[in-house]
Structure 1
Amino acid sequence: MEIKILGSGCSNCKKLEERARDAVKQLKKEATFVKVQDYKEIVSYGVMKTPALVIDNQVKVMGRLPSVEELKKLLAIKA
């Protein structure tokens, strides 16, 4: 599974990555994490507000900071 964190590197972007890593760990899954800070690449996903979370090239969250529990639900679907 590939998880991309889209954003400028702001505090919410960092928190989103921390929470996503925590969710992956709790679910005992393996994932590759990629930080995307290039504005053109972020926009190419149709994202206009960051932070955003992309799982296997599908935007799952945009413009907000989901809880670890919500992230676990999103990741469990990818089982």
Structure 2
Amino acid sequence: MEASADGQSADVFLLGEIVPSGWEWDADQSAASFKKDLDALGDVSTINLHINSPGGSVFEGVAIGNMLKQNKAQVN
């Protein structure tokens, strides 16, 4: 995940295949690494989510989706 934050909002770029933890290559993303990056954003009010992924693990994708739903920021 690539993220940039201005204190109020964050642009989050979810790139690469969604894979289980330990299977990441280059731009691949796991739910565990996404949580770490999401927590690093701090207290932002808006997350602008940009996804460019061919897909991958349904279980990891559901976990990422749940993290975004549980986050108090508005996700666009």
TM-score by length of 1: 0.35
Q: Which has the higher helix share?
A: 1
Larger RCO: Structure 1 or Structure 2 (Cα < 8 Å, ≥ 6 residues apart)? 1
TM-score by length of 2: 0.36
